[in-house]
Amino acid sequence: MPVAPDRSCRTASVAGYDVYIWNCYEQQRVVIYKYSAEMSCEEPKKETTTCGDQTPIEGKLGASVQDGCKPVPASLRWP
C-alpha cells in the first residue's frame, strides 16, 4: 500500500496479530495482518470489504483492533 494505514494494532506481546487498517482506500476497506509467535510467523494476509464495513479478521479480533488499540512497535510501523 502506498499510503500509511489509518490505524495499526498489535493484539499481544508474545504471540498475536499485527494489523494494519485503511478505512477507505480506493473505495474499499483494506486490512493487512499477520500472525506471529516466538517460534513461528505467517505470511501477511489481506482482506477487503466495502468502506464502512468490517472484515472477517476485524470481527474475529474485536476490540483489540478498534480505535485506541495497542499500536505496533515503531520498528514495524508501515513505511
Cα–Cα distance for residue pair 76/66, rounded to 1 Å: 18
Q: pLDDT value at position 42? A: 80
- At 78, the pLDDT band (50, 70, 90 cuts) reads confident
Model confidence pLDDT, tens digit, residues 3-34: 999 999 999 878 899 999 999 999 999 999 99
Cα–Cα distance for residue pair 64/42, rounded to 1 Å: 19
DSSP 8-state code for residue 30: E
For the full predicted model, state whether its pTM sits above 0.95.
no
Do residues 30 and 22 make contact, with C-beta atoms less than 8 angstroms apart?
Answer: yes
